[in-house]
Structure 1
Amino acid sequence: MAMPLKTTPLHAWHVGHGAKMAAFGGYEMPLWYPAGAKAEHLAPIAAAGLFDTSHMAVLTLRGPAVRPLLQRCFSKDLDCCIGARKTPLVPGRCVYGVFLDDAGGVLDDAIVSQCGEHDYLLVVNAAMGDPIAAHLRQHNQDNPDARIEDHTDAIGKMDLQGPAAPRILARILRDPDRVFDRMVYFSFKGTFAPQLLAGEPVTLLDGTPILVSRTGYTGEFGFELFVAPEHAVRLWQMLLEAGAPEGLLPCGLAARDSLRAGAGLPLSHQDIGPWLFACNPWLFVLPWNEDGGGFTKEFIGGRAIRAARSAPCTLAFAGFDPRKIALGEGSRATALDGTPLGTVLTCTTDMAIDRVNGALVGIATPVAGGRPESFAPRGLCCGFVRLDAPLPPGTEILLTDGKRTLKVEIRDQIRPDRTARTPLTAMLA
């Protein structure tokens, strides 16, 4: 018998506001709202979008043995991972990476945030809190100096994404100038539970503690917000009210998927999974040394990656119109002459882009960068394929699901002029 679907603290709000609901990761989640998936895709690029991400799993790791444990289990080298100078992870900063098995396959991807000297926050995907906690405990060898707690379903989380996000958030924060001061990409401030984690206090205007992280899953400027679950609905409503003048929309999983694909971000257990983590667009999460010929540390899965001589290659693609193919056993990638090349991992449509004289242009592209003033994109299909051998960017291939065949182009990048790394001061200006 199938297990009943879980719900987030915002479930009643979604249903009450006409969301199309569906199962995802063991939860009943909104696919889209009455505005529709296209409007929700465009909102975080042109204005702002708000996503319920309370289905994500959150772990807290505390104690002096935690950092050595993460160094063993997590792909990033926490002693040299921040910025171009590769400085150590310190309180207030976070880093993206993967957990691998001994064979170099992906257990899950995650963001690790250091909250205090020995306090860490770990965000993994839906239903992955228990497996990742078990993986860490297995390699902790019952060391009491590393306390691992799974807070799945005990934290409210939402993502405020888009160029208007800082103006919206500033309207409901106490002392926003202090919060935003020197808040660079992949940094955070505050804590949703002072009894659990250290952190500089950040509160809403009504005094509710909150953690504000300059991260997200859209490729656009934005924040991930963490709060105690009993405050989630109020925070959600406060944001929607504060963001109404800016065009803020609630956004569902459909827009989340198309935005992340256009930004070149993987979906765990679909684009990365239990196969060798090699030859893909995300190898920057590995702890490469200065010359790129080795790793700066030993970690689980690292030896398997180094020993591999060949592996299937995951590549990004963009099409020539909005049409997409269905994923399934019949979906495959071929050369233009029909020669089999591999499988299709993700295929969706980024509604914010189109081709202008052969070049990809987005609604955020400046006119000086090639966007016509009257630009009205049709959207382009995009996603990832897993091929038997690498192909250079610009190579055209075919995707088919047995009913429809599409020509697409292998790409290094898909949606241009993304804003995720834009300085916060520039966004506020």
Structure 2
Amino acid sequence: MNSCLKTTPLNEWHKTAGANMADFGEFDMPLWYETGVKNEHLAVLKSAGIFDTSHMACINVNGNNAFELINYCFTRDIATLKQGRCVYGAFLNSEGHCIDDAIVYKFSDIFFMICVNAGMGTAIAQHLDANKKSLDVSIEDLSQKVAKMDIQGINSARILSKLIQNPDTVFDRMPYFSFKGNFNESVSDESEVKLLDNTPVLLSRSGYTGEFGFEIFLNPDAIVKLWKDILSAGKNFDITACGLGSRDSLRTGACLPLSHQDIGSWKFINHPWDFALPYTKDKTSFTKNFLGADALSPAESDLFTYPFAGDSLRKVPAGDNTHVIDETGKVIGKVLTCATDMGISWHKGNIVSLCSENFPRDFKIKGISCGFIMVSKKLEPGMTVTLKEGKRAITATIMTDIRPDRTARKKLNNFI
């Protein structure tokens, strides 16, 4: 291991479990375990999987003008965000380029938390500080001061119910992108969530797989025990420890971007994540002023990002050397992400998923390559392009979405 790499509190557990480790965001992280990426991916679709996400960073923003600062720096309009809810969006620079995407959590009108990607805690904290001017706001970078793990899959709540106090109360009225509790022991309110050993946690009904599940924030000293307890409690559900390989294939099939790969140093427009911008209903303007908004005006030189699905599980490497070629043979762009979602297949011209209610039981799911391309012209859903790297080439169909029938947004009572 590179001695300069940071580690999460679960690093020794990963090594003992035989994980294949690699540098991700300057952290020594597990790519996959002996189970393999395919089985880890399928475990989330069929039952449940857990992910070490302590490489991500959190920032507390507190003060009378906390709302004003975040609402100016963040792309989403949080004016209507309710206490106990969270929302996805991005932080842009003055050029309209994405510094990082993030989730903002609202504890109160003057207290928010922001969860950002690996290594971005200090950068976003400094970005906020540079824009606060005379506002009454305190900004606290919690990088490596908070641990985090995700449990994803249809059995997530059933497993967690064995490990938290008052599960019926905790899981009552907990829609998608809501949260309860706080990992800070000094904070206590009616929404508190505690493990059986009284450890406080922030439990968020969200995640990065597109499937039903939770993100759990807690004190770094408590995460190893919780990780082991979840594996033990979930044994009868065949819960599986999952690495970044399956996290990547799951998020890609769920049509979710990877920061600094699918979104980054180009204008934050013309992509599948327009919901992260505060558009008016006719999408001709924005509902608020925010940093970078002026730079997002359409121009002839703009690029377009589209989801795609391959014709089989064969994939190509992402990067500048893999070209997107249109029907005329012209190179029009590059591949940003290409992964294989092992839980889907083409069936009679449509994509079906293991989670589809109409999934034909005599049909074998083989997997489909999928991801995102960036091109220089507008494309329409259903159009096909060729993705080519050297002698390797695959046919890809432009999509509006990829893995159907995802469970993330379904009512929680379906999973109790």
Letter in 2 for 1:410: I
Which of 237, 240, 243 in structure 2 is aligned with 1:246?
237
Q: What's the % identity of the aligned pairs?
A: 46
Give the Cα–Cα distance (whole angstroms) in 2 for the partners of residues 357 and 91 of structure 1. Answer: 45
- Alignment check: 8 A CA contact 2:67 2:109 kept: no
Q: How does 1:222-371 map to 2 (within 5 A)?
A: 222-306=213-297, 308=299, 311-367=302-358, 371=359
CA deviation after TM superposition for structure 1 residue 197, in Å: 8.5
Q: How does 1:367-378 map to 2 (within 5 A)?
A: 367=358, 371-378=359-366
SS, match of residue 329 in structure 1: strand
1:14 match: 14
Q: 1:197 to 1:127 in 2, by over 3 A?
A: farther
CA deviation after TM superposition for structure 1 residue 65, in Å: 0.9
CA deviation after TM superposition for structure 1 residue 255, in Å: 0.2
Q: After superposition, give the CA deviation of every residue in 1:226-245 in whole Å (9 maximum; x if it has no partner).
A: 11000010010111111111
Letter in 1 for 2:361: E
CA deviation after TM superposition for structure 1 residue 376, in Å: 2.0
CA deviation after TM superposition for structure 1 residue 194, in Å: 3.5
Q: After superposition, give the CA deviation of every residue in 1:162-216 in whole Å (9 maximum; x if it has no partner).
A: 0000101111010001101100000000000143697721101111101100010
Which of 145, 149, 153 in structure 1 is aligned with 2:140?
149
CA deviation after TM superposition for structure 1 residue 358, in Å: 1.5
Letter in 2 for 1:406: I
1:93 aligns to 2:85 (yes or no): yes
Letter in 2 for 1:329: D
1:397 match: 385
Give the Cα–Cα distance (whole angstroms) in 2 for the partners of residues 101 and 43 of structure 1. Answer: 39
CA deviation after TM superposition for structure 1 residue 308, in Å: 3.8
1:124 aligns to 2:112 (yes or no): no
2:65 match: 65
Give the Cα–Cα distance (whole angstroms) in 1 for the partners of residues 413 and 360 of structure 2. Answer: 27
Letter in 1 for 2:110: H
- Alignment check: 8 A CA contact 1:189 1:211 kept: yes
- Alignment check: 8 A CA contact 2:319 2:336 kept: no
1:383 match: 371
Letter in 2 for 1:153: Q
1:82 match: none
Q: After superposition, give the CA deviation of every residue in 1:261-293 in whole Å (9 maximum; x if it has no partner).
A: 000000000000010111110011111223332
Q: 1:279 to 1:138 in 2, by over 3 A?
A: same
1:35 aligns to 2:35 (yes or no): yes
- Alignment RMSD, CA only? 1.4
2:167 match: 176
1:84 match: none
Q: After superposition, give the CA deviation of every residue in 1:365-422 in whole Å (9 maximum; x if it has no partner).
A: 113xxx2112321100000000001111111111112131111110111101100100
Q: After superposition, give the CA deviation of every residue in 1:315-344 in whole Å (9 maximum; x if it has no partner).
A: 000011111112233111102442111010
SS, match of residue 193 in structure 2: coil
Letter in 1 for 2:413: T
Which of 122, 133, 138 in structure 1 is aligned with 2:130?
138
Q: 1:141 to 1:359 in 2, by over 3 A?
A: same
- Alignment check: 8 A CA contact 2:201 2:217 kept: yes
- Alignment check: 8 A CA contact 2:321 2:334 kept: no
**TM value normalised by structure 2:** 0.97
Letter in 2 for 1:280: H
- Alignment check: 8 A CA contact 1:115 1:199 kept: no
Q: How many residues align?
A: 415
Which of 388, 409, 413 in structure 1 is aligned with 2:397?
409
**TM value normalised by structure 1:** 0.94
1:53 match: 53
1:83 match: none
CA deviation after TM superposition for structure 1 residue 124, in Å: 0.3
